[in-house]
Amino acid sequence: MKKTIVSGLVITVIGAVMLAFGIGMHGQRAVIFDGLTPHLVSKAKTTRTQTYAKAERIKADVSDMNVVVKSGKTFSVKYAGEKINQPTIQKKNGTVIINSKSHKHGFSFNGFSFSSTGFYHGAANDKLTITVPENVNLKHLALRVSDGKVIQEPAAKMKIEKYDLRVNDASQVSLSNLEIERANFQLNDTDTAFNGVTINNGQLHLNDNDLAVNDSTLTKTLIQTADSDITMNSVALDGGSLSTQDGDVHFNDITIANSYSITAKDGDVEALNTKADGYSTSVSDGDNRLFNQSNDNGGTLTQNDTAPNRLQVTASDGDVTIR
């Protein structure tokens, strides 16, 4: 038994010496797992640009990188970042297809401690830039992004017939100067801002992220949110509706056409300088204020509620203020 213990100690000491030597020579490497298969991490950087004479459809499914869509003179797709996270870029049947494979799960051995790798939360480093010529109207833009910002702020108005946007766990989505015929957005854990955006028909589903809309027009647009605050300033709402659960709604300088409805569960609704022909507010548990009318015990308040163009607000467990 003693011989076994001594042999074990000798092997341990030798292993420790070899490990220390390896670390001293900078031999420690980070490891990531693709499923159950381990791979050594390479921090090598790369830049790749692919240009196309013409493209009207874009489909991107990427992780761990920022995505920027901008206007320019030529159509191009550029990636700059970690080589291992480089996406594939190809054009097939008139559609530019961009795909990346996420390598987020890993660890590195540093001295005598293990730590999670930070290489593949590339929102601060890796970047995918899509440039669309100013005279091109996109027939379809489909973006699916995880763990990265989405910035679409073209210098010239960008027109998109159909826009599918799926974003999960991103620090920011910022869209501006866009005219979208049909929008289908699903955003999770991602704060979102619209500036100068026109949507003619759309559905917006938000979970655990705030939405700020400024100087925009939303027509026939359904907005559904959970655990999200909604702020709108200088916005034209033509039809459509807003349904919130566990979040506040703040409207300022809003113009209503063809009626608009707000349904709020567990949240306050405030609409200032809102222009409509009629109003109806219903509160089950909270203060209800409609211009010069008020009821501290909820209830229903109306003003010209038979008008075809009216703002209708229904709230439970929250205050409503319209003035």
Report the SS3 class of residue 258: coil
Residue 300: pLDDT band (50, 70, 90) is very high
Q: What share of the chain is helix, strand, coil (3-state, %, to 5)?
A: 10, 60, 30
List the single range of 64-73, 101-110, 138-147, 303-312 with lowest mean pLDDT: 101-110
The answer to whether 282 and 292 have CB atoms below 8 angstroms apart is no
Mean pLDDT value of segment 174-186: 97
How much is the average pLDDT of 202-226?
A: 96
Q: Using DSSP, state whether 285 is helix, strand or coil.
A: coil
Mean pLDDT of all residues belonging to the chain: 86
| Contacts of 319 by beta carbon, 8 Å cutoff, 6+ apart | 268, 269, 283, 286, 287, 288, 289
The enclosing H or E element of 59 equals strand 57-63
Q: How many CA atoms does the CB half-sphere of 107 hold within 13 Å?
A: 7
pLDDT at 9: 66
**Domain 50-80+88-100+129-322 annotated CATH 2.160.20:** yes
- Residues contacting residue 48 through CB under 8 Å, at least 6 positions apart: 78, 79, 80, 86, 89
The phi, psi pair for 321, rounded to 5°, reads -135, 120
- Which neighbouring-strand residues pair with 31? 40, 107
- Tokens 């499914």 map to which residue? 61
How far CA 159 is from CA of 56, 173, 189, 201, in Å, comes to: 11, 18, 27, 14
Q: Determine contact, residues 149/171, Cβ cutoff 8 Å.
A: yes
Predicted confidence at residue 271, as pLDDT, reads 98
Cα–Cα nearest to 145, from 182, 192, 109? 192
- Which tokens is 178 given? 């866009």
pLDDT at 292 over 80: yes
Domain spans, the chain = 50-80+88-100+129-322
Q: Which residue has the higher pLDDT, 46 or 30?
A: 46
Asked if residues 87 and 67 have their Cβ atoms less than 8 Å apart, the reply is no
Helix (H) or strand (E) holding 14: helix 2-24
- Give the pLDDT confidence of 234-253 residue by residue, as tens digits: 999 999 999 999 999 999 99
Residue scoring higher pLDDT (28 or 219):
219
Cα–Cα dist 277/262, whole Å:
16
**106 or 142, which is more confident?**
142
> Average of pLDDT values for 159-177?
94
User: Residue 301 to residues 85, 95, 220, 264, 309: CA-CA distances in angstroms?
Assistant: 57, 52, 26, 16, 16
pLDDT digits (tens, 9 = 90+) for 85-129: 899 999 999 999 999 975 444 444 444 444 444 444 434 589 999
Q: What is the pLDDT of residue 156?
A: 86
Q: Which of the two residues, 79 and 110, has the higher pLDDT score?
A: 79
User: What is the C-alpha to C-alpha distance for residues 131 and 111, in angstroms, rounded to an integer?
Assistant: 44
- The residue with greater pLDDT, 154 or 171, is 154
pLDDT above 70: residue 23: no
